[in-house]
A and B are shown apart, each in its own frame.
With several copies, the nearest count.
Chain A
Amino acid sequence: MCSAMVPTSDPPDALVLRLDGFEGPLDLLLDLARGQKVDLARISILALVEQYLAVIEGARRVRLELAADWLVMAAWLTWLKSRLLVPKGADADEAEEATEVLAGRLAELQAMRAAAAWLNARPTLGQDLFARGVAEDLRVTDRSKLALDVGGLMRAYLSALRRGAGAKPYRPPTVSLWSVQQALARLASLVGSLPDWSALDTYLPERLDTSLERRGALASTLLAGLEMARGGAVRLRQEAAFGPILVRRGGEDG
């Protein structure tokens, strides 16, 4: 701990400075202050400052790479020393305040170090005392209950429906259109029973659900009528443009 200056034999008066034994400038300052063997409240700050500066100066002489915080502290202490040395004047209050700050910081570090020592001296669990090596776990985990909620049920339903719909192969909607062949067969079977002129659309099949199916059936029946008229099986007549198309059995003069 007091290893700030470790004397070596060669050369006899030289000191090898080991600042790395200290955790920062405050650590060194506290160690120097303790060297005065008096209550921290009564240490000589001026003596302390001079000791610190001497140590840092010595360290620099042996071309040690000095960390910035050591030098910052040195600079601040140099300033403090200059203020402490001038006779009572304008700067005295400032110096007194700075002295108090330094003494306060040293006292706090001292207290914390004492606290650490106090803790260290306590019978410590795992070092001096041992707790039970293995605690008995008397807890029993009951996983028989289910965690369910309606929200989860809804999400599951929707994802099931989505997957179900997605799994089916795409089939275009089937549309059943009345073919010309069907129209021919129907017209042929019906036209004989109706000797007089009748509207062609009465020969459409009974069940036509959509207008598409109706228009398709109408076209097919017209084509069937035209085909039968060509062979003379029926005769077709239309009184006016867009008027109803009339049909009757062929072969006789109307």
Chain B
Amino acid sequence: MDEDAVRLAEALVFASGGPVTARQLQQLLPDGVEAEAVIAALRARYSGRGVELADVAGGVQFRTAEDLAPRLRKVVQVPRRLPRAAMETLAIVAYHQPVTRPEIEEIRGAALAQTTLDALLEAGLIAPKGRKEVPGRPTLWATTPAFLLQFGLRDLRDLPKREDLLVEPPAAGEM
């Protein structure tokens, strides 16, 4: 195999912004040199190396060898914030637990979407805790140990007192 052609193919695949097709390579090669053969030679050369020639979307591209990828992979943690409605619901559950969904809606003055409840359940921050013995027996909700962990609280009593929070108690009609 023509060493110069392999070097050129190597540089082209390396520098290209996307997969390189045999046709693209062929345009750079002198007459009589088959792009397919050059690519095959390049593939053989990189076989078993840290980087390998992979077939992707109609072309070839260098790619980290599969066995090395996990060692190079870096996990970047980007914590997400809860949406406002979920945060408010969580706060109400924390202060009023055990509390029913209608009670949460009453306190927030807004309907509680199922997705909001699901988000809190999925995050393991709240859990059902029995049913209220009133007609319809609605589920009672309470915070979980994961809630304490997440907020770095030892105990629910570590939360600021409601009275400390509300400088002016919400008198009816005032707020």
Contact = CB atoms under 8 A, between A and B. Distances in A.
Direct contact of A and B (CB under 8 A): yes
Interface of A: 1-2, 23-27, 29, 31, 34, 40, 69, 105, 107-120, 122-136, 138-143, 145-150, 152-154, 156-168, 170-171, 173
B63 A125 contact: yes
Given A24-B110, A116-B87, A138-B69, A147 B165 contact: no
A15 to B, nearest CB: 19
Contacts of A163: 108-110
A116 B147 CA distance: 13
Contacts of B11: 130
Given A1-B173, A116-B87, A146 B79 contact: yes
B55 interface: no
B3 interface: no
B66 A149 contact: no
Nearest to B104: A160
B108 A160 contact: yes
Given A25-B109, A153-B94, A156-B91, A117 B174 contact: yes
Interface stretch (B14-22, B33-41, B126-134): B14-22
A40 B109 contact: no
B81 interface: yes
A112 B95 contact: yes
B73 interface: yes
A162 B174 CA distance: 10
A147 B80 contact: yes
A202 B69 CA distance: 93
Nearest to A170: B173
A187 to B, nearest CB: 35
A122 to B, nearest CB: 5
9 contacts: A111-B95, A111-B166, A116-B175, A119-B87, A120-B175, A126-B150, A150-B153, A164-B106, A164-B110
B10 to A, nearest CB: 12
Contacts of B48: none
Interface string B161-175: 010011011101111
A164 to B, nearest CB: 4
A34 B169 CA distance: 9
Contacts of B82: 146, 148
A149 B82 CA distance: 11
B87 A153 contact: yes
A23 B108 contact: yes
A128 B69 contact: yes
Contacts of B79: 126-127, 143, 145-147
Nearest to A157: B91
Given A24-B109, A154-B165, A156-B91, A136 B175 contact: no
Nearest to B15: A130
A223 to B, nearest CB: 32
Contacts of A164: 106-110
